[in-house]
A and B are shown apart, each in its own frame.
Chain A
């Protein structure tokens, strides 16, 4: 149980480093500014020495924006995690840009794919982890205090704004202006806001997290199928092997 005293003691002393594993020239500036405003201490490329000084490491991509959900910054979230936990969960949610329009990709990206949609596997919600450096502790399950807003920029679907609006009406797409608004605020020299979600946001978010749970169950089935196949292999070859072993033993005993 985290006490207010312990949290105050922990303060904001944690150092958070975002390691970017890919590059996107169009997003690099806003990506860096966003994460520094959100509480990261450094945004570095893979292999940078700064990674070694981190208390917490975020392994990110150039088109991912790590968004704290709890009403504070990334630093607030990660500073509060008790030392026995080695990682914190995050959920990737996908934002698609409206195509065929002028303006920066960020300005056009205010639509989030809902897990209600029959999504390509690449766009299903995905679980990611922010890891504590030099820790082998378990993840803190049942808590997703960070969203990863991933801009679908590498192979954007040809979604016009009309198509996206129709998707909203059908519950397959949600309007989500948080990232755009945060980047606008940063562009205007203000700090972005990370408000606590309300009950509707929480229920929508729960749908994404439920998709992770369903994926876990499917994964368990896949693993069981694989284990069954291995067990069948053991069972099918065992009698032949036993016979072989017995023949060998019989030959040996015949020699003596």
Chain B
């Protein structure tokens, strides 16, 4: 089995090296990366992996951020040029963590009639800035939000079987094509998510993202990106303080269960001893986050809309019965 990961990056030098190293060690065979106008050391890092034979480097110089188009192109290349059996479409701030077995164990176990499976985001919060790498500082996980304008919103990302005609939807939340039936009820991956890693990165990422997305088409602009970019324009300090989890907030969050310490990625990247096996408590905490993700899932939304339609129709029927009582037939 060959597993290829696609990656779009822009100025992610603080995380992209660890990202690629982690996934190559976890069982990814090859990376196809698109570098969108990076001005920091990101390009050099990608080119080093390319020289080592681990990565296909693509550069995009236009300002517009055509995310879905570029990921689709890379996912198709994975199938046609790099012999992939499975494709993981990732961002540099996402670390795919199999909940059971290895990444390859999970993909090998997917029943043949299904072509896609999901991981759910698990968000790691911003901690006070320091010189240490992100994974040393960011060991606090939070419960997901149900607000789509929040960067810590519940959501799923998809891994799919490689196909030359695949279309990856914006945000990598789904992949479409023949044979890509989603195994919706099994979520065997956690996707550790580190979207906001420091003040400088926060103030750089969202305005640039927002502007580039808008150039590609305003409707493509994710609502959380728009909300943060707008907030930063108004008062950057406030936005930073909103996302920062200082030691007092940490203590409160641990007490009320909205935050949890999670050192798994840190330990893995340090090369420390294997993690403890997943426990029932871990399963439950994960289940609650999957529950949140499912509440935004299309299947659940369909059921909710059918319920709502049923209530509205029943109300119309009741009003009609009151307004037009059934005539008694003459005896």
Contact = CB atoms under 8 A, between A and B. Distances in A.
Contacts of A200: 109
A140 B254 contact: no
Given A227-B309, A230-B313, A199 B100 contact: yes
Contact of B283 (A70, A234, A244): A70
A143 B299 contact: no
Nearest to B288: A1
A7 B279 CA distance: 12
Interface string A56-91: 000000000000001110001100111000000000
B235 to A, nearest CB: 30
Contacts, number: 127
Contacts of B288: 1-2, 82, 140
B122 to A, nearest CB: 11
A202 B186 CA distance: 8
A1 B144 CA distance: 10
Given A142-B290, A145-B287, A199-B106, 6 more contacts: A3-B260, A80-B281, A199-B109, A203-B106, A210-B184, A224-B306
Contact of A202 (B188, B259, B280, B310): B188
B303 interface: yes
A223 B281 CA distance: 37
B277 to A, nearest CB: 8
B285 interface: yes
B287 A140 contact: yes
A142 B257 contact: no
Contacts of B303: 216, 220
A17 B183 CA distance: 34
Contact of B291 (A4, A72, A143): A143
Interface in A1-42: 1-4, 6-7
22 contacts: A1-B258, A70-B283, A82-B284, A82-B288, A116-B111, A140-B287, A140-B291, A141-B294, A141-B295, A142-B287, A142-B290, A143-B290, A196-B277, A198-B100, A199-B101, A202-B109, A202-B186, A202-B188, A206-B188, A217-B299, A237-B320, A238-B320
B281 A2 contact: yes
A241 interface: yes
A4 B281 contact: yes
Interface residues of B, number: 48
Interface string A231-256: 10010011001001100000000000
B299 A216 contact: yes
Interface bin, chain A: 35 or more
Contacts of A151: none
**Interface residues of A, dominant DSSP:** helix
B105 interface: yes
Interface in A173-222: 196-200, 202-207, 209-210, 212-213, 216-217, 220
Given A141-B290, A143-B287, A199-B101, A241 B320 contact: yes
B316 A234 contact: yes
B67 interface: no
A203 B112 CA distance: 11
A1 B143 contact: yes
Interface in B185-203: 185-188
A223 B283 CA distance: 33
Contacts of B45: none
Contacts of B278: 196
Interface string B96-116: 000011000110011100100
Contacts of A196: 277-278
Contacts of A116: 111
Contacts of B44: none
B302 interface: yes
A7 B281 contact: yes
Interface in B150-174: none
A64 to B, nearest CB: 21
Contacts of A142: 185, 187, 287, 290-291, 293-294
Given A2-B257, A141-B294, A206 B183 contact: yes
A80 B257 contact: no
Interface in B292-331: 293-295, 299-300, 302-303, 306, 309-310, 313, 316-317, 320, 323-324
A159 to B, nearest CB: 23
Nearest to A199: B101
A227 B294 contact: no
Contacts of A197: 100
A203 to B, nearest CB: 4
A2 B254 CA distance: 10
A218 to B, nearest CB: 12
A102 to B, nearest CB: 36
A142 B297 CA distance: 11
